[in-house]
């Protein structure tokens, strides 16, 4: 992915910040066709656009029928960042939601993914039951609001930002504008 290439070539730290894209989505989801229709958008055209964008990043993308609330998945993602091998869970969450169309707001689905990642299921269950990382995600959501972020992805560096899937040269210019230096051999 372009952002990973940037991290290899420049002395930058990539930090994912959680964002409430559609926090009003019910836990059991919402039909994508209804969502797009409510905004006057063509579901098939939107799917094709997203599929093209993901292909440019080398990512698979399935034709989902539902959108699901990602709040619990975000909280679980914060936990995953604290355990060895947690990055695997992020990959599985992406695949479950964007490729397989699974409900990542469902605790059973999330725990299946934790098990598939080889992470401690009972610890993850406790994280979800106690909402241990609720405040961390709330803080990310508040930070997103402070920055005026309204869409994903948004890239912010040194007080500058760009919104949307951007070509590599735009991300590189953002890093340079923020004062990032090229790595040796980068």
Task: List pLDDT tens digits, range 130-152.
Answer: 999 999 999 999 998 988 888 88
Across residues 103-107, what is the average pLDDT?
97
Considering only residues 14 and 73, tell me which one the structure prediction assigns the higher pLDDT.
73
pLDDT value of residue 12: 92
Measured CA to CA, the distance from residue 32 to residue 43 in angstroms comes to 7
CB 47 within 8 A of CB 63: yes
Across residues 63-71, what is the average pLDDT?
94
- Sorted by where each starts, the structural domains of the chain and their CATH numbers stand as 28-131 (3.40.30.10)
Measured CA to CA, the distance from residue 68 to residue 102 in angstroms comes to 8
The single-letter DSSP state of residue 183 is P
pLDDT value of residue 137: 96
Mean pLDDT of the chain: 92
Residue 89 CB neighbours (<10 A): 25
Match 């094709």 to its residue by tokens. 48
Match 């063509």 to its residue by tokens. 42
| Reported confidence tier of residue 128, pLDDT bands at 50, 70, 90 | very high
Across residues 34-46, what is the average pLDDT?
92
Helix (H/G/I), strand (E/B), else coil: 113: helix
pLDDT value of residue 186: 58
Across residues 69-75, what is the average pLDDT?
96
Across residues 42-55, what is the average pLDDT?
91
């Amino acid at each position: 992915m372009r952002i990973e290439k940037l991290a290899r070539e420049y002395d930058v730290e990539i930090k994912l910040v959680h964002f409430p894209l559609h926090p009003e989505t019910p836990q059991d989801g919402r039909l994508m066709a209804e969502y797009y229709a409510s905004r006057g958008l063509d579901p098939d055209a939107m799917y094709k656009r997203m599929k093209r964008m993901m292909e440019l990043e080398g990512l698979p993308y399935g034709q989902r029928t539902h959108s699901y609330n990602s709040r619990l998945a975000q909280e679980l993602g914060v936990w995953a960042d604290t355990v060895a091998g947690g990055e695997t869970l992020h990959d599985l969450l992406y695949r479950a939601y964007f490729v397989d169309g699974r409900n990542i707001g469902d605790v059973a689905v999330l725990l299946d993914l934790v098990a598939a990642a080889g992470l401690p299921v009972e610890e993850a269950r406790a994280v979800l039951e106690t909402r241990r990382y609720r405040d961390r995600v709330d803080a990310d959501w508040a930070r997103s609001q402070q920055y005026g972020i309204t869409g994903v992805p948004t890239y912010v560096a040194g007080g500058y930002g760009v919104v949307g899937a951007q070509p590599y040269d735009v991300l590189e210019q953002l890093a340079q504008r923020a004062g990032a230096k090229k790595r040796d051999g980068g």
